[in-house]
Amino acid sequence: QGDEWTAPGTLPFSGSYSDADPAFAPDGNRIYFISMRPLEGEGPPREDWDLWVVERTAGGWGEPRNLGTPVNTEQPEVYPSVAADGTLYFSSGRPGGLGKNDIYRSRIVDGAFGEPENLGPAINSEQSEGDLFIAPDQSYIVFVSSGRPDSLGRGDLYVSFRAEDGAWTPAINLGQGVNSHWTEYCPSVTPDGKYLFFTSYRVAREEPSAVPLTYEEIQSAYVTPRGGMGDVYWVDAAILDALRP
């Protein structure tokens, strides 16, 4: 409101089970998210993450719906992102992938999600890929990977661009300034395309303290910004265009 963020509040369909990785559809009328909630009604939490969707109604948010097969499997499906035409992108450790977790997309076929397609070796590797954001026009994808030869830290942000023939360019590390030797994850570009938001575990103090810290000072440092527990950052999204081949 104005120049200030309001205090966070729990969404009406959440708060009873583990829900995470929310992603708005570009039109703002659907939220895709992951959950361990039971498939039907109340009950104990499930043992793996599934993808769910909830739609905006005239009276607010409706009831969440599990996306079912072929999107969801017995393996965790996580971090959804949806394009303007409804194509769903997500990460999964399902069998047949190139690495520990790969990025897939599922296109709309006859009004329903079709069989997920692996995005291939330009994006996926022998490591884990996830925490993704797809541009509404699917012209680029930003995602997280770790353990690659060009990685700067424990988890870095990468971008891949889609060429006119539909092929994806080899993933490019976003480089120092965005990435650190800690972990960067959960990228998201604002609807106007101007800013890239992400989370980072980077810390304010990279070097040892000249004066030994007390226990109280250490505890206090963890609950302040850049305390190493994960903070939200933003940068000009022009850094993505600068990397376009």
Q: Residues 73-96: pLDDT tens digits?
A: 999 999 999 999 999 999 999 999
pLDDT digits (tens, 9 = 90+) for 126-151: 999 999 999 999 999 999 999 999 99
Which pLDDT belongs to residue 46? 87
Residue at token pair 């999600």: 113
Averaged over 52-73, what is the pLDDT?
96
Which pLDDT belongs to residue 12? 94
- What count of other Cβ atoms lies within 10 Å of the Cβ of residue 218? 12
Residue at token pair 């994006």: 123
pTM of the model: 0.91
Angstrom distance (rounded) from CA 33 to CA 36? 10
Which carries the bigger pLDDT value, residue 7 or residue 229?
A: 7
Which pLDDT belongs to residue 206? 66
pLDDT digits (tens, 9 = 90+) for 163-181: 999 999 999 999 998 999 9
Which pLDDT belongs to residue 220? 80
pLDDT digits (tens, 9 = 90+) for 206-226: 667 788 889 988 888 777 888
Strands (E), the chain: 19-24, 30-35, 50-57, 60-61, 65-66, 77-82, 88-92, 102-106, 108-109, 112-113, 117-118, 129-134, 140-145, 156-161, 172-173, 184-189, 195-200, 231-236
Averaged over 153-165, what is the pLDDT?
95
Evaluate whether 62 touches 54 at the Cβ level (below 8 Å).
yes
Which pLDDT belongs to residue 226? 80
Which pLDDT belongs to residue 14? 95
In order of 22, 29, 169, the CA distances from 188 in angstroms are 11, 17, 20
Which pLDDT belongs to residue 156? 97
- What count of other Cβ atoms lies within 10 Å of the Cβ of residue 214? 9
